[in-house]
Structure 1
C-alpha cells in the first residue's frame, strides 16, 4: 500500500480511572506518517481525574492517585488535545472504546474517521485464535523495542497499535480497502452501503 495516500492519522490510546463512565487519567497520540510511527511528534498527557482511580484500574495501568495528584485536570488540557485531534482520523485497538470516551470528553469533536485494529485483525487474520493486543503482538512478533513505558500505559499501547496497523495494512492494497476492513459500522469514516438498484 502507498502510505503517502493516507490522510492525517493519529493512533490514540486512553487509560481511565475505573469509574463508570470512566474519566481519563492518561492519553497518548502517535501520528503515523510515511509508513512509520512518528515518535518525534507523539504526545502523552497524565490527567488528574475528578474521581479517584480505583484499585482495579491501578492494577492494570499502574497509575496511582499519588502519581496523578499534581497533574493537570481534563479542563486544563482539553483545548490542546481537541486541537490536535481536529480533522484527523484516529486509530485504536477496539477503537469504539477510545472514540466513545473521547467523544464524551470532547462533545464538539468529531473524528474524520475511526480505524479499529481489532476489527482489521479479524478481517486480515481470521485464523488467529485471539485478537487482543497481546496475542497479536506475540503472533506477529512485532518489534516493540522502541516503545516507551510499558504495556497498558497509553504511550506503549499507542506505539504497539501503530506497529500493528502498519503490519496489517500490508494486506490491503489501497486506503479504501483498508477503510472497508477496519472501520466499524456506525463510526465516522465507515463506507456507506450501496443504494439498492431502482427501475430508473
Structure 2
C-alpha cells in the first residue's frame, strides 16, 4: 500500500510563456501508520526543453543554460508522470502555488487539489517577519532539513525539498482539509505590506484606512482588510474579484 502522499513541486522557467518550463523538481510528504507526516525519500528533478531560449533575467536566477536543456524532453511529455505518479496523490503543493498552477494545469494534474504553502504560512506563523521559502527556512530552521540538500536555492529540487519541510510542519499544526481551504482563498496578510500603514497589524488601523485598503487592487490586501472589517462587525464594500497573489510579502 502506498501511504497518503502530498507531492511538493517547484518549477524553473525560461521566462514568461505557456511552455516555458526548463526544470521541475518534486519532493513527497507522506503520512505514516501513526498519522504523522514526514519528508520521505520520494524526490527527483528533470530538466525540460522549454522550446525557446532562456532569458538572461531568469538564467541569472537559476543558472540553467540553453545548452543544459537542448536535448531534454518537452514539458507536455513529462508533466503527467511527475504530477500524477503511480499510486496517486492526496494533493499537490508549492510555495506560491499560483505560479506552478500556470504550467501544472488540470490536463497534467488530473484535477488534483493544491496547497499553497505561502498562504498557509501566513496563517500558521503570522508572527514571522517574512514568508518567502528561504526566509521561512532560516527563521524556522525546520527539524531534519539537511542544509546541503536544500542548495542551491532557486533550483527546482532544492526548493521543493525546503518547501516540503514547511508543509510537514504545517500538517502538524493544522489538518490537510484546513490547509486546502486556506489555499483556496487569497492570502491573509498579518500586516499591511505597502503604503503609509506599512507594517501595522490590521487591528491597529483606523476605520477609514481599513475601508480604503478593502478596495485595493491587490486581492491579498483586499481580502485581509475585508477580514478585519468582518471581525469588527462591519460589512466590506463589494469589489470585483481579481487573480490571486500579486503582492510579495
TM-score bin (small chain): 0.7 to 0.9
Partner of 1:107: 107
Q: Secondary structure at the match of 2:147?
A: coil
Shift of 1:66: 1.3
Match of 1:193 in 2: none
Alignment check: 8 A CA contact 1:19 1:51 kept: no
1:124 aligned onto 2:124: yes
Residue 178 of structure 2: aligned partner:
177
**CA distance change for structure 1 residues 63 and 85 in 2, over 3 Å: closer, same or farther?**
farther
Q: Distance in 1 between matches of 2:87 and 2:185?
A: 21
Match of 2:136 in 1: 136
Whether the 8 Å contact between 1:26 and 1:44 is mirrored in structure 2 is: yes
Sort the Cα spacing of 1:85 and 1:100 in 2 relative to 1 into closer, same or farther, 3 A: farther
1:170 counterpart SS class: helix
**In structure 2, distance between residues paired with 1:179 and 1:171:** 13
TM-score by length of 1: 0.77
Distance 1:85 1:138, change over 3 A: farther
Q: CA deviation at 1:102?
A: 1.0
3-state DSSP of counterpart to 2:85: helix
- Structure 2: state its 5+ residue gaps: 187-249
- Residue in 2 that maps onto 1:69: 70
Q: 1:179 to 1:151 in 2, by over 3 A?
A: same
The Cα of 1:72 is off from its aligned counterpart by 2.0
CA contact (8 A) 2:150 2:162 kept: no
Unaligned residue ranges in structure 1 (runs of 5+): 1-5, 187-200
CA contact (8 A) 1:17 1:24 kept: yes
8 A Cα contact 1:12 1:90, kept in partner: yes
Q: Structure 1's 177 and 77: CA in aligned 2 closer, same or farther, altered over 3 A?
A: closer
Partner SS, residue 46 of structure 2:
strand
Distance 1:81 1:18 in 2: 21
Question: Contact 2:14 / 2:52 at 8 angstroms: preserved in 1?
Answer: yes
- 5 Å-filtered alignment, 1:53-64, equals 53-64=54-65
Q: Which residue of 2 aligns with 1:12?
A: 9
**Structure label with greater radius of gyration:** 2
How many residue pairs match? The answer is: 176
The TM-score with structure 2 as length reference comes to 0.63
RMSD over equivalenced CA pairs, Å:
2.4
| Larger CA deviation: 53-62 vs 144-153 | 144-153
